[in-house]
Amino acid sequence: MTDRTIAVVGTGLIGASWAAYYLARGFRVVASDPAGGAEEALRERIDGFWPTLETLGLDEGASRDRLEFTPSIADAARGADFVQENGPERLDIKRSILAEIEQGVGEDVLIATSSSGLLVSEAQKGMRHPQRLVLGHPFNPPHLIPLVEVLGGEQTSPENVERAVAFYAGIGKKPIRINREVPGHVANRLQDALWREMFHLVSTGVASVADIDTAISYGPGLRWALMGPFLTMHAGGGDGGITHFLEHLGPAMRDWARDLGEYPETDEYVSTMAEGVEDELAGHDWAAALAARDRLLLGLLAAKAEAPEIP
């Protein structure tokens, strides 16, 4: 058991998942959210996440009883050793939340924002101690997916970025350090490139929603989960590695890139994609599918942990 306290500010789906993970690592968690019924919803979500966390393994002293809730953001931050902020993706609200956090938290305590796309440099404007704000962007759901993207804004000290990386690595996460701010960070931009093309392929009648899901989940997605795209390229190049791969396929890849589509210009594509998903799920229990996904993901994470040969 650790005597350290994590303040979790904002307890929607992401915040609740973070809170559950911190509890599973043995921390005391003080959570805050102004929404009506937030505490009840938070505790229900944590109860739902807990069996998965038990399967992953709980640290000594891990207990849901170490969760406290207060509607006051400043009170939640007071005495915290680390703050995980999960407010709405609106800059004005983000700055307001950060101001309330700073009313309670010690000046040397790191504040990590889970923001999916807002720039840290913009969020930290007006802070009393902007040097301690970092990005700590998880991949959903944080209690299950190891990735955390870490970077600092223009006023963040390099030392605090290193502190954040070390903190996340120390609690079992897989942090990556982003060197320069860009909208959407890294993983979401990579996802977005794929989303853009799959929307284009469906909208132009090249393939169905179901077949595109199959193409990824039974094709490159299987390899990417094990090695990532660069190492997959390296493996695909045989003895010549990635150099041979790029020299051999580079010209064709550039031609494919010139033919890639753009996001549909109207919102009509939304109903098309929704209908495709509905067709794909016909005859399937969605809740059961999600449970099976999480079960398989647990197995994959366990298998990856037993293969240190793969970076």
Task: Indicate the class that CATH gives domain 187-305.
Answer: mainly alpha
* 290: enclosing H helix or E strand: helix 286-305
pLDDT in tens, 219-269: 999 999 999 999 999 999 999 999 999 999 999 999 999 999 999 888 889
Indicate where the chain has its CATH 3.40.50.720 domain(s): 5-177
pTM of the model: 0.94
Query: Given pLDDT bands bounded at 50, 70 and 90, which one contains residue 162?
Result: very high
Is residue 25 a contact partner of residue 143, using CB atoms and an 8 Å limit? Answer: no
Query: Given pLDDT bands bounded at 50, 70 and 90, which one contains residue 139?
Result: very high
Burial environment of residue 258 by CB neighbours within 10 A (0 to 12, 13 to 18, 19 or more):
exposed
**pLDDT value at residue 2:** 80
Is residue 110 a contact partner of residue 164, using CB atoms and an 8 Å limit? Answer: yes
Is residue 31 a contact partner of residue 19, using CB atoms and an 8 Å limit? Answer: yes
Task: Indicate the class that CATH gives domain 5-177.
Answer: alpha beta
The pLDDT of residue 174 is above 70: yes
Question: Distance (Å, rounded) from C-alpha 150 to C-alpha 134?
Answer: 7
**pLDDT value at residue 264:** 87
Is residue 244 a contact partner of residue 238, using CB atoms and an 8 Å limit? Answer: yes
Residue in 222, 214, 217, 224 with CA at minimum distance from that of residue 276: 214
pLDDT in tens, 204-225: 999 999 999 999 999 999 999 9
pLDDT in tens, 30-87: 999 999 999 999 999 999 999 999 999 999 999 999 999 999 999 999 999 999 999 9
Instruction: Tell me the DSSP string of 11-43.
Output: -SHHHHHHHHHHHHTT-EEEEE--STTHHHHHH
Q: Give the orientation angle of helix 220-236 with respect to helix 209-217, to 10 degrees.
A: 50
What is the C-alpha radius of gyration for the chain, rounded to an integer number of angstroms? 21
* φ and ψ of 28, to 5 deg: -85, 135
Indicate where the chain has its CATH 1.10.1040.10 domain(s): 187-305
Mean pLDDT, residues 2-10: 95
Considering the chain, what percentage of its residues have pLDDT values greater than 70?
Answer: 100
The pLDDT of residue 1 is above 70: no
**pLDDT value at residue 266:** 85
Q: Please report, as a single letter, which amino acid is at residue 137.
A: H
Report in angstroms the alpha-carbon separations of 253 from 35, 221, 235, 243, 258: 49, 19, 17, 14, 9
Q: What is the largest CA-CA distance in the chain?
A: 60
Query: Which tokens sit at 236?
Result: 């695909």
Strands of 111-113's sheet in order across: 67-69, 28-32, 5-9, 82-85, 111-113, 133-138, 147-152, 174-177
Report in angstroms the alpha-carbon separations of 290 from 89, 164, 285, 293, 296: 26, 31, 9, 5, 10
